[in-house]
Amino acid sequence: MRFARGFTLIELLITVVILGIIASIALPSYTSYLTRSKLVEAHSMLADLRVKQEQRFQDARSYSAALCAPTGAAAAQVKYFDFACPAAPSATAFEIRATGKAGTDLEGIMFSINENNVRATVVTGGSKMAGKGFASNATCWVMKKAGQC
């Protein structure tokens, strides 16, 4: 009497279906996790630049001539965002923006902070970030889809 060894076609198909289901659940979660981890770059740099603006104000009683973008070693670490001030800082006010670099998966999102520590997120409609489910929020820096902080 011979004993068959190996797997039947049904067993292999069931295994493939189970792996497909697991992958369909895990892949979107993983890509969302990667996107959220990239947003931390903007949040940490903006917080750091705000501290530097406040230090400048303490030293000179003016925000003018303060930094609007990372410099030195910090600038070399920036991969996903461009930092700038939409207008030159004045004596009493500033705003710094971090905009997702064009051509990356973060294109279409912009974070901002000002002298009152007001944080805002703007997501451009029809952009890659809007397509991922991110939305604008005028009161915080978005970390999750649908404008959640």
B/e letters for 1-14, b = 16+ CB within 10 Å, e = fewer, are eeeeeeeeeeeeee
pTM of the model: 0.83
pLDDT at 136 over 90: yes
pLDDT at 4 over 80: no
Q: What is the mean pLDDT of residues 71-96?
A: 90
B/e letters for 61-97, b = 16+ CB within 10 Å, e = fewer, are eebeebbbbbeeeeeeebebbebebeeebeeeebbbb
Q: What is the mean pLDDT of residues 24-33?
A: 90
* Residues 146 and 123 sit within 8 Å (Cβ to Cβ): no
Higher pLDDT, 96 or 7: 96
* Residues 127 and 108 sit within 8 Å (Cβ to Cβ): yes
pLDDT at 103 over 80: yes
The structural domains of the chain, with segments of one domain joined by +, span 9-147
pLDDT at 145 over 90: no
pLDDT, tens only, 60-72:
999 988 888 888 8
Residues 6+ apart with CB under 8 A from 88: 64
pLDDT, tens only, 86-101:
998 999 999 999 999 9
